[in-house]
Amino acid sequence: MEMLIDIASWVLLLGGSVFILIGAIGLIRLPDMFSRMHGAGIIDTMGALMLFAGMMLQAGLTMVSVKIFLIILFLMFTSPTTTHALARAALDAGQEPIRDDDPTDEIELALMRELEEERKRLSKT
Amino acid sequence: MFSAAALAILVTMLLVLIRAYKGPTVYDRILAVNSFGTLTMLLISVYGFLTDRPEFLDITMVYALINFIGTIAVSKFVRFGDLAPPVPENDPGDI
Amino acid sequence: MIHALSLGGALGILWLLLSGIFEAWLLALGFGSIIVIVIIANRMDVIDHEGHPIHISWRALLFWPWLAWEIVKANIDVAKVILHPKLPITPKVLHIKASQVTELGHVFYANSITLTPGTVTLKLINGAMDIHALTPSSIEGLLTGEMDRRVHDVEGMADGTVEVKKNV
């Protein structure tokens, strides 16, 4: 049993390491500031989540786990807020996201219509 | 195993710093520094486990708070050039 | 009043968890800090159903596991795109109207969107959102509106009761 928990925590730690590396690669490779936010998002969500989960498994059911859980909770509340604040600041300063307005427009419109009907149905009931 | 994670975090920090150095706009740099803060939190925690001193998690918690407030403050400062709220001159405010 | 009590309770639990020392002097210090914080928060006028949303807490707890699974799926999707040698991204800015009623619901939805990589909320004004989406599958996941529906369920009605839907 202890062996299994050890293996699981190793897998989580290694997975988290891989994901933060991918996030950093995204931060470097992606073309503009708004798409780089998605790379930072990977570090903030999946990478941190997996690394902290691996540490939690190593710590077991102790006060340490509770603290890590609190940290995770705090991170999950704050990271979208900071991203949003940064995006607003960048938009206000006149930064324009690179757009690719070609292939999925029709899918988008069809799905939008569907969504609108769904909403009307919801508001009637 | 924790040392492998610590190594990965350090390499990631290096990559993020490259973006903070290169970043064409100031917003790229803020984004990179925010990620760097998250990675610092992770590194502090992992280091705590590596040296068997889980008290380091308290520092992580404080660092999370500072990172959050710091990024918001810098974003606001860059946006308004001022940390006070942009209120009209004759507005008495809430209290 | 109930929100002030729940804020005090949450702060008390937080204090006990973080200190872990049960001496009379330290407990008294903690109690004093909690009282001061609740008074200050009350003076700042942040104790209400928005600052401390206890009416959605249980449904939010049920929502989070689903959100976590969505985050994992979106992460794998974006990671694949980033590691792809050709970098096949299709960045778009979508305009979406949220179906939630209260501002709390809007914020809940916007933050859930931002938490799943591949979609970032850029602007949120009265439930109208501008969303930056990176990959085709993230765009589709957004436009199916499943998250919107689930957040709407979490939010319930503005007065805290749960909306009963007939034809689901």
Measured in whole angstroms, how far is the alpha carbon of residue A101 from the centre of its chain?
24
Do C9 and C60 lie in a common domain?
A: no
Identify all chain B residues contacting A36, using CB atoms and an 8 Å cutoff: 19, 28, 31
d(CA A73, CA A124): 36
Is ipTM strictly over 0.95? no
Q: Which of A9, A14, A27 to mutate to test the interface with B (most CBs of B within 10 A)?
A: A27
Domain extents in chain B: 1-6+33-77
Do C60 and C39 lie in a common domain?
A: no
Pairing relationship of beta strands C119-125 and C92-97 according to DSSP bridges: unpaired
Reply yes or no on whether the pLDDT at C151 is more than 90.
no
Q: Which of C75, C86, C144, C151 to mutate to test the interface with A (most CBs of A within 10 A)?
A: C75
Chain C residue closest in CA terms to A118: C145
Closest CA relative to residue C121, chosen from B70, B23, A32, A85: A85
pLDDT 10s digits, B37-58: 999 999 999 999 888 887 888 8
Two structure tokens written together for B5: 């994670």
Two structure tokens written together for A8: 């699981």
Q: Determine contact: B15 vs chain A, CB below 8 A.
A: yes
**Minimum distance, in Å, between the CA of residue A50 and any CA atom of chain B:** 11
Do C29 and C100 lie in a common domain?
A: no
Grouped pLDDT means (10 residues each) for chain A, 125 residues: 87 91 89 86 89 88 86 90 88 76 56 70 71
Chain B neighbours (≥3 Cβ pairs under 8 A) are A
Do C33 and C111 lie in a common domain?
A: no
**Looking at residue A119, what is its pLDDT?**
72
Do C6 and C77 lie in a common domain?
A: no
Map tokens 């702060």 to a residue.
C11
d(CA B45, CA A51): 9
Chain C residue closest in CA terms to A119: C99
Number of domains within chain C: 2
d(CA B50, CA B44): 10
**In C44-122, where does DSSP find H-type helix?**
57-83, 103-115
User: Is C161 a member of any domain?
Assistant: no
Do C66 and C116 lie in a common domain?
A: yes
What domain range is C25 assigned to?
2-43
